[in-house]
Amino acid sequence: MKGHTFKAINVIIIISLFLFVRSQNVAKSQKEGKRLLISDSDLLHSQMESLRREVQTLTSQLTNLQSSYQTKISTLENQMQRGQHGGTYIIWGRKTCPTMNGTTTIYTGIAGGRHYSHHGSGSNILCLPHNPDPTPSGYPQAFQTSDAFGTLYGSEYQFSYRNIAIDDDVPCASCLLTHASSVIMIPAKTTCPSGWTVQYNGVLTSGTNWDNHYGTEYLCVDGNPEYMTEGARMKNYDGNLFYPVRAVCGSLPCPPYTNHQLVSCVVCSI
């Protein structure tokens, strides 16, 4: 589209310059009292040749300008595109990121967090890469006989849905938004607000279901979940746990919510 626009502008400029030069020559001839006779073929030929050379020179200059401006435009477009990079999110329950809208996978990983029955360690869930680097020398040393350190466990589903079963291990992936810079997770929705793009939707989960379990953050597990293939399927090691979340009426108004109904979620970008 841009190439056609430049060509059209070039043609208009060349024609305009040709008419301008021609009008100047005619005005000059009239001022000096000269008359161009049709029979004076040598004079006409000389003037046409002069105009032709001028047009060729202008065309060459315009071509150079077009190339220069096209380079500048491409540079600005690349800068703008790079400036839009920066929106990231984690997709839970999948090994790779969705491919729509230019979203790419930074790395694929394993969902991990604290043990469901432990008070300590972090409350958030991490997406752990499959290829951890060795711990650098000089790090603090922890001992199995000491409680002065946190712990990190893999994660298991505590529900069956489509491709997964209870005790399957939970995968994850870190995603880069190529054409967007902001991302949000909206609970209890499967669609995004106007102007926002759906990255994925699914099931809202948390890390607890019983009074003796300790909570973690609410996460959105993809609606078409996968399981880790490194370990045995449905092997109950517990560790960090993913439970589906249901609504409880009271301070949460019903309607619009429904008591004990499982809650959906959606991840949106813009």
Residue 179 lies in a domain: yes
The mean per-residue pLDDT over the stretch 228-249 comes to 84
Same domain, 258 and 163: yes
> What domain range is 247 assigned to?
87-131+149-269
Average pLDDT over residues 3-17: 57
Please give the pLDDT value at position 208. 74
Residue that terminates a domain, selected from 64, 84, 104: 84
What's the rounded Cα separation, in Å, for the pair 267 and 238? 27
Percent residues over pLDDT 70 in the chain: 73
Residue pair 93/220 in contact by the 8 Å Cβ criterion: no
Phi-psi region of 228 (alpha: psi -120 to 50; beta: other; left: phi over 0): beta
Same domain for 227 and 126: yes
> Please, are residues 232 and 220 in contact by the beta-carbon 8 Å criterion?
no
Span 167-178, average pLDDT: 94
CB 264 within 8 A of CB 203: yes
Residues 28 and 73 occupy one common structural domain? yes
Q: Which of 32-36, 156-160, 187-191 has the lowest mean pLDDT?
A: 32-36
Q: How confident is the model at residue 176 (pLDDT cuts 50, 70, 90)?
A: very high
Task: Please state the separation of Cα 153 from the chain's center in Å.
Answer: 30
pLDDT of residue 137: 78
Sign of the Cα torsion 204, 205, 206, 210 reads: positive
